[in-house]
């Protein structure tokens, strides 16, 4: 079964691409096939975090008519990237029907695969459509008023479209795991008070200097800083995703 996971945030620059790429690597290391889709269509950069140089992008599939299997970049056996295009307005404004087709094609070809969509910042119709198409939604936020407000905005929109279930939070760049847990609890009580629904918790990722160094050297954490705190945190998250994955598309929201 294909498990479509969307990684989003509302606000930009909070770690979506870093987390999508590393969660993908960590899940692959647990023995699962993984496809990472750079759905930050106009300003793609997942390839930089993954240390690969794609020859083709999603643009060659959507606009160039190439088969999807020909535009995929292989990172490792069973770990692939559908790279995004950079600076292409036609891709940013992709019709919603084309996004549905893309997900359908992926589900047909990538059976028994975890597919991670790195969603662009903001609440565009394209972003919200992709979030609705995915089985699981992960909302990243950091402890800053703008990030909290924007991620709550995304949760509110998901609630309105009846997609708040199977939605999980990851507080990123936290000083320690217990403060991450309490950021989650604050956000969850907002949801309970104003939306009347809880939101799930996947776990937190600590602030770690190794992240910036790994990105700068274009070498993912397991190959540059395998003992780093952030990589440990991500491996814990990957185990949790796999627990939900084994429940076959029907994870229960935990508090
Ligand atoms: N846990 C962490 N510890 C330290 N730095 C981090 C951590 N997570 C992310 N960062 C830093 O935050 C920056 C932004 O990360 P990233 O590009 O993944 O964000 P994004 O949400 O994808 O941004 P955009 O909205 O522009 O696509 C990176 O340069 C990275 O170094
Ligand atoms: Mg990004």
Measured in angstroms, how far is the CA atom of residue 147 from the centroid of ligand 1? 13
CA distance 93 to 116: 20
Q: Which atom in ligand 1 lies closest to the alpha carbon of residue 121?
A: 25
For the domain made up of 3-246, give the CATH fold.
Answer: Rossmann fold (3.40.50)
- How far, in Å, is the centroid of ligand 2 from the Cα of 84? 11
Indicate which residue's Cα is closest to atom 26 of ligand 1.
Answer: 13
Residue nearest to atom 6 of ligand 1 (CA): 211
pLDDT at position 135, please? 96
**235 alpha carbon to ligand 1 midpoint, in Å?**
17
Strand 167-171's sheet: what is its strand order?
Answer: 72-76, 79-82, 33-39, 113-119, 3-8, 136-141, 167-171, 200-201
Quick one: which ligand is closest to 49's CA?
A: 1
pLDDT confidence of residue 42:
75
Q: How far apart are CA 255 and CA 240, in angstroms?
A: 14
C-alpha to C-alpha distance for 81 and 245, rounded to whole angstroms: 20
The per-residue pLDDT for 255 is 46
- Which atom of ligand 1 approaches the CA of 172 most closely? 1
Torsions phi, psi for 121 (to 5 deg): -65, 160
Question: Which residues are found with C-beta within 5 Å of the ion, ligand 2?
Answer: 16-17
Ligand nearest to C-alpha 38? 2
Q: What is the pLDDT along the chain (255 residues), one digit of tens a residue?
A: 899 999 999 899 999 999 999 999 999 999 999 999 999 877 889 999 999 999 999 999 988 899 999 999 999 999 999 999 887 777 878 899 999 999 999 999 999 999 999 999 999 999 999 999 999 999 999 999 999 999 999 999 999 999 999 999 999 999 999 999 999 999 999 999 999 999 999 999 999 999 999 999 999 999 999 999 999 999 999 999 999 877 754 444 554
Q: Where are the domains positioned within the chain?
A: 3-246
Instruction: Write the DSSP string, 178-226.
Output: HHHHHHHHHHHHHIIIIIS---EE----B--HHHHHHHHTT--HHHH-T
Q: 139 with 8: CB under 8 angstroms?
A: yes
Q: Ligand 1: residues whose CB is within 6 Å?
A: 9, 12-18, 40, 121, 172-173, 205, 207-208, 211-212, 215, 230
Beta strands 79-82 and 72-76: pairing type?
antiparallel
Count CB atoms within 10 A of the CB of residue 118: 26
Report how far ligand 2's centroid is from the alpha carbon of 121 (Å): 7
Identify the pLDDT of residue 248. 58
Q: How far apart (Å, rounded) are the C-alpha atoms in residues 187 and 197?
A: 11
pLDDT of res. 90: 76
């Amino acid at each position: 079964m294909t498990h479509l996971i969307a990684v989003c945030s509302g606000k930009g620059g909070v770690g979506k691409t870093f987390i999508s790429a590393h969660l993908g690597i960590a899940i692959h290391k647990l023995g699962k096939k993984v496809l990472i889709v750079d759905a930050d269509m106009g300003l793609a950069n997942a390839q930089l975090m993954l240390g690969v140089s794609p020859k083709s992008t999603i643009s060659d599939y959507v606009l160039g008519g190439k088969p999807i299997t020909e535009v995929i970049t292989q990172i490792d056996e069973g770990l692939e990237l559908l790279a995004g295009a950079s600076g292409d307005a036609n891709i940013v404004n992709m019709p919603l029907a084309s996004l549905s087709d893309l997900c359908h094609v992926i589900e047909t070809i990538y059976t028994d695969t975890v597919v991670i969509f790195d969603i662009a910042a903001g609440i565009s119709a394209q972003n919200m459509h992709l979030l609705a198409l995915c089985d699981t939604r992960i909302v990243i936020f950091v402890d800053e008023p703008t990030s909290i407000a924007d991620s709550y905005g995304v949760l509110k929109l998901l609630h309105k479209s009846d997609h708040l279930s199977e939605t999980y939070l990851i507080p990123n760049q936290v000083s320690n795991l217990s403060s991450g847990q309490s950021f989650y609890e604050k956000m969850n009580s907002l949801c309970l008070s104003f939306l009347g629904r809880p939101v799930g918790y996947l776990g937190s990722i600590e602030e770690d200097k190794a992240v910036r160094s790994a990105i700068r050297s274009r070498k993912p954490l397991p190959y540059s800083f395998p003992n780093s705190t952030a990589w440990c945190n991500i491996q814990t998250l990957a185990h949790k995703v796999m627990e939900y994955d084994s429940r076959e598309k029907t994870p229960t929201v935990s508090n």
